[in-house]
Amino acid sequence: MPSKTTDPRTVSPALRPAAVPQPSPPTRAAPDPATEPPHRNGARRKTQSVPGKLAREVARLEAELAAMAARVAELEAHAERDPLTGLLNRRGFAGELARAVSHVQRYGGRLVLVYLDLDDFKPINDAFGHAAGDAVLQAVAATLTAAVRVSDAVARLGGDEFAVLLWNLSDADAAAKAERLERRITETTVVREGSTLRVGASAGIAPLDDGDPAAALAAADAAMYRRKRTRHGHGGTPATPAAEPF
């Protein structure tokens, strides 16, 4: 039988031995995706948050949309260019005329159209083939581009027909410019199969003062044909380019 001094039921609380604290069980930190060992199939545990996945998906879709927009812009630009010469085509030139008219109506200025048709181009195609004709068209395009200002616009409207939009020239200066363009084209040569190929050009000019590009282009075209008939009627002797009255 335990004595009163050893029986825990009768020992004074002050004399009882202090309880020894027990260690807490260790806590486990959240796994780090960078250090988490792979599963048995080689894949790491997926601990990425849903918002992070959505952000990356949105970024990917935005990048795809930007690439598509750039591609559309590139295709639209190509749709307005002549693939052979790199000049504006008829559609691109129409857009350029519309923008020019809008600018002049808002800020002022003057626009003149020059319509050019090559002389003696068909015989080159017939005698030397279309590849030679293409080379001549490319050379003429380069000549026209080099002969105008950066603010002007040059287009190949189709076949052997070209057009130039001139900014802020007087009547006399526009006529003189058209004559110089004729002369520069006549001086342009292409060597093919040991032969030097050369074409002439007839130019007609018309103002764009009324803001109607289609009417001005038709007027310049008609003036060009009058010029061509005049040149052929005088054996090709140069004369002042025909033009509608300014």
Residues 68 and 108 in one domain: no
Q: What is the pLDDT of residue 31?
A: 57
Q: Which amino acid is at 96?
A: E
Please check whether residues 128 and 167 belong to one and the same domain.
Answer: yes
Percent of the chain with pLDDT over 70: 71
Tens of pLDDT, residues 69-91: 777 666 555 589 999 999 999 99
pLDDT score of 209:
84
The answer to the question of residue 210 being in a domain is yes
Domain that holds residue 204: 90-243
Check whether residue 106 and residue 62 sit in a common domain.
Answer: no
* Residue 235 and residue 153 in one domain: yes
* Same-domain check for residues 134 and 205: yes
| Predicted confidence (pLDDT) at residue 25 exceeds the cutoff of 70 | no
Q: How confident is the model at residue 235 (pLDDT cuts 50, 70, 90)?
A: very low
pLDDT, one tens digit per residue, over 44-76 is 555 557 778 888 888 888 888 888 777 766 655
- Residue pair 205/225 in contact (Cβ under 8 Å)? The answer is no
Query: Which of 173, 140, 171 has the alpha carbon at shortest distance from 154?
Result: 140
User: Is residue 193, in this structure, part of any structural domain at all?
Assistant: yes
The verdict on 66 and 115 lying in the same domain is no
The verdict on residue 18 lying in a domain is no
108 plus 208 within the same structural domain? yes
- Write out pLDDT tens, residues 185-214: 999 999 998 999 999 999 999 999 888 999
Structure tokens, 30:
């959240």
Say if residue 96 is in the same domain as residue 216.
yes
- What CATH code is carried by the domain that includes residue 177? 3.30.70.270
- 148/59 same-domain check: no
Is the same domain home to 66 and 109? no
* Residue 221 among the catalytic residues: no
- State whether 147 and 236 are in the same domain: yes
105 inside domain: yes
Which tens digit of pLDDT belongs to each residue from 112-123? 999 999 999 999
- The pLDDT-based confidence of 2 (bands split at 50, 70, 90) is low
- Domain boundary (27, 61, 81) is at 81
Catalytically annotated residue among 7, 32, 160, 173: 160
Same domain for 64 and 104: no
Q: Is residue 196 a part of any domain in this protein?
A: yes
| 68 CA to centre of own chain | 13
**Model confidence over 27-38: pLDDT tens digits?**
665 555 555 555
pTM attached to this predicted model = 0.67
Residue 141 forms part of a structural domain: yes
pLDDT tens digits, 139-176: 999 999 999 999 999 999 999 999 999 999 998 999 99
* Burial of residue 186 (number of CB atoms within 10 Å: 0-12, 13-18, 19+): middle
Distance CA 197, CA 200 (A): 11
Number of domains in the chain: 2
Residue 34 lies in a domain: no
Q: Is residue 13 part of a domain?
A: no
